[in-house]
Amino acid sequence: MDRVRSTTKKEQKMTTWKVSHIDAKKTLRAFLKEKLGEGYSVRKIKWNIDHHLVSVNGKVERHSTVKLVAGDVVDFNTKNITDNTIEKKRILYEDDAILAYDKPPRMTTMGKGLLEILRRKYRDLEPVHRLDRDTSGVVLFAKDKKYLEAMTQQFRDNIVEKVYWAVVDGVIKDESGIIENRLAKIGENHGRAVWGKVAHGKEAVTRWRCIKTGRGASVVECRPKTGRTHQIRVHLNGIGHPVLGDVHYGKRFRCRYRPSRVMLHAKKISFKHPMIGDKINITAPIPDDMKEAIRYTNCGMVQKGVTE
């Protein structure tokens, strides 16, 4: 028998297998398909892997094509991390023109993610901007096409003020700085676009300041002037401090803490209301997993600025 155990808890079902010599050299995806049977499609298995619900030897495995070896221990967690209902507490702001929602991590903005869920109640809702799947925090939606265009223009003109918090690898020496370069797609990693610094790319500007430091990590506040794909993640990695959990860009991490997702949070957004013209400020609370990362790395011990 290669199944080690199967446990059931409230909101969680975990099954564990030990890889036998017969299953050695199989890909993780093929191994799970065989063990889980017809009840799980390859697409569903890959969804679980993409959402960090599968680990090998106690470490979250993000690649479905990794080859297994005899003796590996594979954990498969079927916990449903994407709530298919609208959580009222996550609605940060709402009126006749705009809806602001606190997007949880591991949920896409588009596709089968947040937009689809919100449209069950708000039929004509359109996203004003997007966040990466792992990034949590404020996302804006427009309730009418004319408001969508007005808000989109503010983003084009770079007048929307955005504030992000990131828990990054290493203790940052400087208190603040500005990163300015040009970014473009430079390749792919396991089917996902990789962005980087290139001479012919689009202008990318990020202001940052270190607000907390701790044991092998720092909390950084970022204020991107532009909104390029993966901009903050690329910029922070470029100065030698990749965001914790960002294995897409960070290749080596000094900090021992290993979060299951990219520790990046869209904390605040400010813009001119498209209907009444007033300045609107919307803030999303720091999520529990980021608080845990900050506690674990003792990033509250040395204060360089404001606290949460």
Active site residues: 132
Cα–Cα distance, 299 to 218 (Å, whole number)? 6
Look up residue 242 and give its two tokens: 């990749």
What are the contacts of 244-250 at 24+ separation with CB within 8 A?
244/167, 244/168, 244/169, 244/217, 244/293, 245/134, 247/62, 248/189, 248/192, 248/194, 249/194, 250/169
Confirm if 29 and 45 have CB atoms less than 8 A apart: yes
Cα–Cα distance, 244 to 287 (Å, whole number)? 15
Strand order from edge to edge, sheet including 59-60: 3-9, 12-18, 73-77, 54-56, 59-60
Cα–Cα distance, 213 to 300 (Å, whole number)? 7
What is the helix (H) or strand (E) element at residue 38, kind and residue range? none
Confirm if 200 and 226 have CB atoms less than 8 A apart: no
Residues 6+ apart with CB under 8 A from 198: 182, 183, 184, 186
What's the 3-state SS for 192-259? EEEEEECCCCEEEEEEEEEEEECCCEEEEEEEECCCCCCHHHHHHHHCCCCECCCCCCCCCCCCCCCC
